[in-house]
Structure 1
């Protein structure tokens, strides 16, 4: 501990449970009258909320530019973070506590300047991800970002916490530990160049320390170990004028500050957080477990495996504990660390599968814990409205994925569905639609998982309105006006109905009706599926507003009138694209089952069948759909097949026609023996070169069938060959057995 009579520095490792325990003991042993913590100095107003019983870490201080919430920085805090422990220690005892690092307003303003300069230098460079937390140790190498972990590795310990426990926690004098860390950091910084941003941050910290010293009270400073040599009393004295000049005229942005829930996953170094740890769940375990650390960890692991229906007995826990202790001894460690426990777990629990290790890694080593913030934390009105609805509808915010099935016939299920659809419309995919089995349209399946960046998106969405309904209405209306295609409008119309946004739905429907007059055939057909779903199933969701069926009929009529012309003189690729659109439109017409729309669609397909210059793929597709719809009888279908397979036609055209006629399922060959006979006869007449040309598309069509169905067709074809052989019989020889048969039956003497 570097000290003067009333000034103490406590160098810590960010998010280090060992540092947190030692810091709490040191503060209790020598309580200061004022406590300064490394953190954005303009966030002091949020400090009281960190001691609120309703707050559950991990959380993050969030600072964002007002009017541009996507420009944000985060300062995460976990229950095992020394800064968080020190803040709660001070607030619980009524000791004044404040942040001392560079204000977030300055950090954001500097980022804006850097982004503008980078964009001018290289316009193609992407802006950094605003959801990444602000690094408390901003340095390009590991020594600066986590100097204590680097010291642990230099001492031969792969696990920093085990090194800290071995050399620090076993001691009774925590003050000596901090003094030793400060001495080591001083030696390290003599050989390392300090970055410009670190110099600026440390100058601001020194200024805050000087301001706190004016009251003559005893002062304690908690900072990252890297900054310790720059905050000593000697440096405070000699850098006073230089600090004032360095901090003069710093840019500042107008910002908003709040607390948002955070997750253990976002505390990991692998998430991009420079001051992150490898295993937040393990750190939390170390912080909350004072005795039998290894045994209790393996007990938790076994309990988790048993919940997942995997073998994990008490005997295995004992064996794994002994193995971990033996590994630690062989590796020269006083206590087993996470590496030893993981190796023991792999040997005892996961000898035949890697599933146990994956479960333990996801749910224990990282541990997707999601924090909670008190209701009184300053936030935008939209966030308050969302929190109120989540509470009213009993939708718990969790970091782990949770399946949810809603019954839309119930008020609660319907309101939950509308909330999730509105959030998706606002770009906040808390719920992702999931497939559910069973018939009926009154159920919806969702997978819920809250991510920390959703807090940023809520702030961004607040620009559109102070409530979810207003914000969603504004976003939907804006998207409707900007939509370039009818398909976008019809999909948006479906979303607005699912979200129960009648104003936006009416606007979207009006724009859709207006633009339909100038749309091409592909656009008109592409807009049909969402409209059909909406008109067919809207009543289940208590829809309001205009009926979508009339506009659906109008689109079918207009598309049908232009379809024959649109199908002519197309390339193979364009024909395949149009066939997919026609298939979706045909399914939409059958789904809605509207008499007028069905009649108009049948007329369009008949016109397509009678047009001579259309692509053969589309012609075959039209014949199949007319056959399935009962518009063509078997004789008419066979006549068209015979004409399409007539000798002398281009083989590629015939194969394309067959591809369209057989369709996606190819079921016509299973149920139509006459068609199978015609196809077999046509293939038999092909010369070798023509057969090689037609084989790939024919195989593609038949590959859509299941193996059993293809086998059945093969057996049917062999049956056709047997029938041909049976037809070539000698009648005279056959008559010779008749007298013998009659005599055996006793019918003749």
Structure 2
């Protein structure tokens, strides 16, 4: 900036001395105030909102930047390399005895961890609280070029204390005024560094419009990042203070109070006053939005100490309801460039993190024109990446893009181009022809490069969360790649490689805990029992701070993944009905997939108790299904071969399910198909060569079921089929009952298809080798009216889904023989509907013409 920047910036307002006048700030503010719904506005609000630029510059010189003052204010924007560069200059000139930083005061104990040389950014402080049903989590991200991180590092280098001075997140929530607490509020921001008041002010919006900037971020990059190293520190900081203050003046005091801005500033002022009492030189680092407010609070002496009151006693001494216990935790954790990017993450600062990181490194290394050098490196990498993807990008394209990058900077009145000039130059020079999803690949790849994929590392510290360390140990043993962001792929051979089974259990556990680490792309699904023929599992995984945050949340359940997953599973099972044996057995399978053998041992007994109390036939059959899968794949699931608990449980589930057949006299229509399949499953188990499941109890229950007067047709069909196949009923019983339906009352005819569904489920060969049954069905269909036939079609189609394609060919041959035609004629495609309509219209036209000729 310097003289050049001042000219480039302030000339925007032509010959206006006052910034606010140049942008019609009085009109902007009147409109803002007129729209305010709060009737208790301060009488001097409008006057304070029309403060001149000259007045702000005077305040800056006297109260903000005076090196002789006991407190030196440093207004910054979070994650701004330009602000960090000039912060270093101010620290060197002022030589403070302590540095106060806008940040959660609970994080003070973590400052030594952040300043440790072994800590590599990006990192974050992660704060959580729980109180009764209320809970929330927040992030405080830090990058190499974050002013807060730079200040912490400089304090450590100089051997002076650094201290966070802002309210903790929980205390900020409690600090809401009564009227706000009565309203339903939205979820708190997940980022401590939310800048919505600064970026969304009417002043900044008007300025963006006047200067043709696409966003506040482009406006900031144009003024405060590119060329920042060449600007005088006083002038740079004055500009930051002026524009942040003008944004602040767009809000009324009631709006700032409601947003907790004022309560935070009053709290910070207490820390400032305490530091002044102990130190002669205090450097105060806060967002530029707060600087003017802190000066106002100090001059008006508005700060009031908060009083802690035991809420169990009211003002008159009577006992009131005690507030639930507050549990707070704050940890240092890894973070990623992708999450720190404001376009992807938690609204924590500026976008295009990797770009600004490179810009910061160039500024630190004293490179002339650091933004231009950053652009050169980025364009070179982009061209290389695109050529590796067979994109038609040449070296001349990259040269032309850099030339345009410089030209746009000159056209926009800047010393150097910035990230938005880089985006525009790539759009113009790398995209050939019209912009489409395909041709936009250069821009997509550029954004990936500008964002970066780095992941941080936290130095060893006493605040390490045991469950996170346990995961990292297991991940290292499984050789998972946690050092970079982006998706990684893992293909696991479950049947032949024990190490792969170990990895599968870890990923299943992380998936169960909701950590967002891994997603199973393909492979056997043991719960739904699909793709069981596949021998391999394919997972994609990506490590991020989200994963670490979820693990920290689960730390309340235990210090290892196994313990946390066990307790979570126990909670889920405890929430089940005591009679739901199917769900309990399913959880037994889930915990085995996670490798939680001890939990599985407990669940075996819980499943046994649930079987004995469960009266639902479908639930018992579901439990039987799960237990059978576990027994069939017991080696893969890590069960011991000599353990007899599971076979005994499986037999008990079979006998309980068979006994529950007596409850099928009255069933819901939606359950018919499930019950048919469950009875078929019991029949197949009873036919197993092992003899583990005796068939006689099943046959007895089904015989009793058939004696019921109003038995559901589908259940009648499957029962008759099972008993006929087992010799308990004669073979012709299925056919005779089918004829009874086909030749019975109109109501019985409607249930023919449902009966056949039951028959085909357990004995579809009866239809293949009993010509009489086929003839009877053909006769029935030929006698049905059109409406009855249409009504029966869906049920019939469902019944014939039990047949394979080969069996359908056999049925087609039998039908063809009934009509003395070839099978090929049956396979002729039906007439096209459009053709039918055309011929029908033609027929009508011919008829009319013949009538006209009296033919």
Check conservation: 2:100, 2:163, Cα contact below 8 A: yes
Alignment of 1:649-728 (within 5 A): 650=747, 651-660=749-758, 679-699=777-797, 721-723=819-821
Whole-angstrom distance in 2 between the partners of 1:322 and 1:633: 92
**Which residue in the other structure is 1:745 paired with?**
none
SS class of match (2:490)? strand
Whole-angstrom distance in 2 between the partners of 1:186 and 1:394: 51
Check conservation: 1:157, 1:163, Cα contact below 8 A: no
The Cα of 1:659 is off from its aligned counterpart by: 4.4
Whether 1:400 and 2:483 are equivalent positions in the alignment is no
The Cα of 1:54 is off from its aligned counterpart by: 3.5
**Change in CA separation of 1:154 and 1:220 when aligned onto 2, cut-off 3 Å:** farther
Check conservation: 1:148, 1:225, Cα contact below 8 A: no
Match of 1:343 among 398, 416, 427: 427
Check conservation: 1:168, 1:174, Cα contact below 8 A: no
**Which residue in the other structure is 2:237 paired with?**
178
The Cα of 1:177 is off from its aligned counterpart by: 0.9
223-232 or 714-723: which moved more?
A: 714-723
537-546 or 619-628: which moved more?
A: 619-628
1:56-97, CA deviations, whole angstroms, 9 ceiling, x for partnerless residues? 322221223478895433212233423223323443x33425
Whether 1:567 and 2:567 are equivalent positions in the alignment is no
1:654-682, CA deviations, whole angstroms, 9 ceiling, x for partnerless residues? 23234455669x99999999876664443
Whether 1:155 and 2:211 are equivalent positions in the alignment is yes
Match of 1:220 among 264, 283, 288: 283
The Cα of 1:560 is off from its aligned counterpart by: 2.0
**Which residue in the other structure is 2:632 paired with?**
536
Match of 2:160 among 58, 74, 96: 96
**Which residue in the other structure is 2:623 paired with?**
527
Alignment of 1:559-598 (within 5 A): 559-563=657-661, 565-579=662-676, 585=681, 589=685, 595-597=691-693
SS class of match (1:540)? coil
Whole-angstrom distance in 1 between the partners of 2:355 and 2:807: 55
Check conservation: 1:18, 1:161, Cα contact below 8 A: no
Alignment of 1:167-566 (within 5 A): 168-169=227-228, 171-194=230-253, 195-196=256-257, 197-214=260-277, 217-232=280-295, 235=296, 238-239=299-300, 241-243=301-303, 245-249=304-308, 255-269=328-342, 273-284=346-357, 286-288=359-361, 290=370, 291-305=372-386, 312-314=393-395, 316-318=397-399, 335=417, 336-337=420-421, 339-341=423-425, 343-344=427-428, 347-348=431-432, 351=436, 353=438, 356=441, 360=445, 363-364=448-449, 366-367=451-452, 369-376=454-461, 378-397=463-482, 399-408=485-494, 409-428=496-515, 430-436=517-523, 443-484=536-577, 485-520=580-615, 521-544=617-640, 547-563=645-661, 565-566=662-663
**Change in CA separation of 1:567 and 1:59 when aligned onto 2, cut-off 3 Å:** same
Aligned length: 711
The Cα of 1:690 is off from its aligned counterpart by: 1.4
Check conservation: 2:431, 2:440, Cα contact below 8 A: no
SS class of match (1:530)? helix
The Cα of 1:297 is off from its aligned counterpart by: 3.2
SS class of match (2:491)? strand
Whole-angstrom distance in 2 between the partners of 1:328 and 1:516: 76
Whole-angstrom distance in 1 between the partners of 2:387 and 2:666: 65
1:494-516, CA deviations, whole angstroms, 9 ceiling, x for partnerless residues? 13333343332222111211221
683-692 or 189-198: which moved more?
A: 189-198
Whole-angstrom distance in 2 between the partners of 1:301 and 1:626: 72
Provide the TM-score with structure 2 as the length reference: 0.70
SS class of match (1:548)? helix
Check conservation: 1:138, 1:198, Cα contact below 8 A: no
Check conservation: 2:139, 2:192, Cα contact below 8 A: yes
Check conservation: 1:285, 1:297, Cα contact below 8 A: no
The Cα of 1:39 is off from its aligned counterpart by: 1.0
The Cα of 1:155 is off from its aligned counterpart by: 3.3
The Cα of 1:559 is off from its aligned counterpart by: 1.1
Provide the TM-score with structure 1 as the length reference: 0.78
**Change in CA separation of 1:461 and 1:557 when aligned onto 2, cut-off 3 Å:** same
Whole-angstrom distance in 2 between the partners of 1:505 and 1:528: 16
The Cα of 1:519 is off from its aligned counterpart by: 1.0
Whole-angstrom distance in 2 between the partners of 1:725 and 1:71: 69
1:329-372, CA deviations, whole angstroms, 9 ceiling, x for partnerless residues? 77787635365256348833965626737953874455554433
**Change in CA separation of 1:416 and 1:272 when aligned onto 2, cut-off 3 Å:** closer
**Change in CA separation of 1:591 and 1:226 when aligned onto 2, cut-off 3 Å:** farther
Match of 2:191 among 106, 115, 133: 133
SS class of match (1:54)? coil
The Cα of 1:653 is off from its aligned counterpart by: 0.8
Check conservation: 1:66, 1:256, Cα contact below 8 A: no
Whole-angstrom distance in 2 between the partners of 1:590 and 1:718: 38
SS class of match (1:375)? coil
Whole-angstrom distance in 1 between the partners of 2:716 and 2:397: 68
Whole-angstrom distance in 2 between the partners of 1:182 and 1:155: 20
Whole-angstrom distance in 1 between the partners of 2:732 and 2:399: 79
**Change in CA separation of 1:192 and 1:382 when aligned onto 2, cut-off 3 Å:** same
**Which residue in the other structure is 2:54 paired with?**
none
Check conservation: 2:198, 2:247, Cα contact below 8 A: no
**Change in CA separation of 1:308 and 1:581 when aligned onto 2, cut-off 3 Å:** farther
**Which residue in the other structure is 2:10 paired with?**
none
SS class of match (1:337)? helix
1:403-445, CA deviations, whole angstroms, 9 ceiling, x for partnerless residues? 2233445453343333334444545453344423897787444
Whole-angstrom distance in 2 between the partners of 1:567 and 1:23: 79
**Change in CA separation of 1:213 and 1:647 when aligned onto 2, cut-off 3 Å:** same
Alignment of 1:58-137 (within 5 A): 58-65=122-129, 70-91=135-156, 93-104=157-168, 107-111=169-173, 128=187, 132-137=190-195
SS class of match (1:534)? helix
The Cα of 1:709 is off from its aligned counterpart by: 10
Whether 1:20 and 2:84 are equivalent positions in the alignment is yes
The Cα of 1:492 is off from its aligned counterpart by: 1.7
**Change in CA separation of 1:472 and 1:630 when aligned onto 2, cut-off 3 Å:** farther
268-277 or 220-229: which moved more?
A: 268-277
1:702-743, CA deviations, whole angstroms, 9 ceiling, x for partnerless residues? 6899999999987985676443899xxxxxxxxxxxxxxxxx
The Cα of 1:535 is off from its aligned counterpart by: 1.0
**Change in CA separation of 1:85 and 1:638 when aligned onto 2, cut-off 3 Å:** farther
**Change in CA separation of 1:716 and 1:277 when aligned onto 2, cut-off 3 Å:** farther
**Change in CA separation of 1:633 and 1:401 when aligned onto 2, cut-off 3 Å:** farther
Structure 1 gaps of 5+ residues are 727-749
**Change in CA separation of 1:587 and 1:411 when aligned onto 2, cut-off 3 Å:** farther
**Change in CA separation of 1:517 and 1:82 when aligned onto 2, cut-off 3 Å:** same
Whole-angstrom distance in 2 between the partners of 1:705 and 1:310: 51
Whole-angstrom distance in 1 between the partners of 2:774 and 2:447: 55
**Which residue in the other structure is 1:733 paired with?**
none
**Which residue in the other structure is 1:737 paired with?**
none
The Cα of 1:178 is off from its aligned counterpart by: 0.7
Check conservation: 1:560, 1:603, Cα contact below 8 A: no
Whole-angstrom distance in 2 between the partners of 1:316 and 1:670: 71
Whole-angstrom distance in 2 between the partners of 1:645 and 1:259: 75
Whole-angstrom distance in 2 between the partners of 1:530 and 1:674: 40
The Cα of 1:524 is off from its aligned counterpart by: 0.3
